[in-house]
Structure 1
Amino acid sequence: MDQQTKPGVVAVVVLGLVQILSWGGSFYLMAVMANPISAETGWSQQWIYAALSVGILVSGLLAPLSGRIIARTGGRVLLAWSGAVMAAGLVIMGLSHSLPLFLAAWVIIGVGMAMGLYDALFATLGTRYGGQARSAITGITLISGFCTTLVWPGTALLIHLLEWRGACFAIAAMLTLLVLPAYYYALPGAALTPRPAAASASAQQSDLAPSRFWLLCAIFTLASVIMTAISVQLITLLQASGYTLASALAISAIMGPCQVGSRLVDVAFKRGHPIWTAFFSVGLVAIGLLLLALFPQFALLSMVLYGAGNGLRAIVRGTLPLAMVKPEAYAVVVGRMARPALIGQALTPLAGGYVFATLGPAATLWLLCALALLNVALVILLKRQLSATPA
């Protein structure tokens, strides 16, 4: 299979469904499990959510290593075994009766996240298919956009039927049984000739000027920080703006469909350079947050705009570097870019909670607006660099 081929529709659907299962068994798990875990064990929710931060931090620290492994081997085996690693962490989590063991379980889950979430999958697709991977990345993010819609009710049902420990074991079983065969089906083994291990990271990074690399890192990190802060604090911010809990929940629910809708729009304009997708992503996020800060009565519209911009964020993570480096360098570059974004994401709940407690909801929202506007400026700067000099 050469660089002009690309995954078929069935393969893209399979990859999208596996991402739903992988994200649901790791990153999105605590949103539903934190309360029952706290109720049974007596551990504070602060420590329970800290375990998720530990997992994200481990994932960020290991992201460059994951990228180097994908560059050398093609990524198929790494992705295939990610489910078993996450499952091992979930089994330990289900057996945890002490907080240290619970945190250790999330270290293992973090290793699996580095092996099997978006960054690893996009790096694998970019390395295998070059520029042809863009449509597959868009399709995968479109399908996985339904993740929370499917995963949160499903996890809640498992907890209702099996309690939270049994739910951990059930999700671990699904990850073990489904992830490996799915990746072996969707990523044929002949798609990539393994690259010599002697190919140094510095040689593979030579395609991308340092200024562009660090601009991309800053753009992705700011986008991840804003997304994480909004995910954690949106309900509280809306309530501080005068909305009831029920209204805040209803307004926040609009983000999911808007994320999927924006990805559908991107499919229609997939021939354009991804820098335009990046510009629309950060621009819509900034407008949505500014609208919420200035006119809280238009919170529904602000979340429509924010949700659309955030929906494009996942596509930009995969496609913008793909347009700027050669396929053989892509996995290494994406792995290095993932580290600061994931570390920022892991630290955001702690930093955001401190800002909220110290300065209040209004200052927190305006700080997020400032970060969003800074990201718009960075994307404009990157676009000017790309226009001035061929990528």
Structure 2
Amino acid sequence: MTTLVNFLNAGMSAHTVGLLAGLGLALPWAVGIASLRGVGQSSARLADVLWGGRWHPLAPGAGAALLLPLACLAGLWSGQVLAAALVFVLAYGAGNGLLTITRGIVPLVLFDHRTYGAQVGRLVAPGFVRSACAPVVYAAVIDCAGVAALRLSVGVAVLAFGVALAL
């Protein structure tokens, strides 16, 4: 899940403005709306601080992983409906914000706390390599197929959700 989410995050971080503009939003609107991603991230993290202790540690990760494909699906209509662009960016930011937290918690739940450092290292290393490749892959997809990069995002997000459910 970490590897998939890192790939998705790196690709979307580099190309959200371009994708929104490619879907039909005027560039100033695309820049403004894309900047709201941080609001979604911070809001989700605040919600986790306030209410996260009430849930099993894996529950927020599954919920956040569900937000990602729903957000990307909303993104497909971002060029026609301004509200869809807002839902896309805010929900994507919220999902990504929660997954940043759960990325550190999941190994504590699944593995012995004495091997936490080694387990985290093994889990995040492939994600860092994929993260480095993601902006280039997204750029290539955008060059060849335009906003099909958002369909790629939906697919990656659905896979991440499936893995989160399996956990």
2:90 matched to 1:307? no
User: Distance in 2 between the 1:372 and 1:345 partners?
Assistant: 14
Question: Counterpart amino acid of 1:326?
Answer: D
Match of 1:289 in 2: 72
Match of 2:112 in 1: 326
| TM-superposition CA deviations, 1:19-60 (whole Å, max 9, x none) | xxxxxxxxxxxxxxxxxxxxxxxxxxxxxxxxxxxxxxxxxx
For 1:236, the aligned partner's letter is: G
Cα displacement string for residues 294-326 of structure 1 (whole angstroms, at most 9, x for unaligned residues): 454110122111111011111011011111122
The equivalent position to 2:22 in structure 1, one of 235, 240, 252, is: 240
Aligned residue number for residue 344 of structure 1? 130
Residue 236 of structure 1: CA displacement? 0.6
How do 1:133-282 residues align onto structure 2 when only pairs under 5 Å count?
Answer: 219-267=1-49, 268-282=51-65
Rounded to whole Å, the distance in 2 between the matches of 1:350 and 1:247 is 24
Q: Who is 1:372 aligned against?
A: 157
AA in 2 matched with 1:334: V
Letter matched to residue 287 of structure 1: L
1:269 offset after TM fit, Å?
Answer: 2.1
Q: How far apart, in 1, do the equivalents of 2:163 and 2:64 lie? A: 12
Residue type of the partner of 1:312? L
For 1:239 and 1:381, the matched residues in 2 are separated by: 35
Give the Cα separation in 1 of the matches to 2:76 and 2:53.
Answer: 32
Identity level (%): 30
Give the whole-Å Cα distance in 2 for the aligned partners of 1:376 and 1:357. 27
Could you say what secondary structure the match of 1:323 adopts? helix
SS in 1 for 2:58: helix
SS at match of 2:53: coil
TM-score (norm 1): 0.41
In the aligned structure 2, how far is the partner of 1:237 from the partner of 1:295?
9
Q: Which residue identity lines up with residue 353 of structure 1 in the other structure?
A: A
Q: How does 1:80-159 map to 2 (within 5 A)?
A: none
How many residues get paired?
A: 163
Distance apart, 1:255 and its partner CA: 1.0
Question: Bigger radius of gyration, 1 or 2?
Answer: 1
Q: Is the aligned partner of 1:355 residue 2:138?
A: no
- Measured at CA, do residues 225 and 302 of structure 1 come closer, stay the same or move farther in structure 2, by a change above 3 Å? same
- What SS class does the counterpart of residue 243 from structure 1 fall into? coil
Distance in structure 2 (CA, Å) of the matches to 1:242 and 1:351: 22
**Unpaired runs of at least 5, structure 1:** 1-218, 383-391
Aligned-partner Cα distance in 1 for 2:47–2:146: 36
CA distance in 2, matches of 1:260, 1:239: 24
Superposition TM-score, scaled by structure 2 size: 0.92
Structure 1 CA distance for aligned equivalents of residues 38 and 94 of structure 2? 9
Q: Which segments of structure 1 move beyond 6 Å, counting only runs of 4 or more?
A: none
- State the AA in 1 paired with 2:46: L
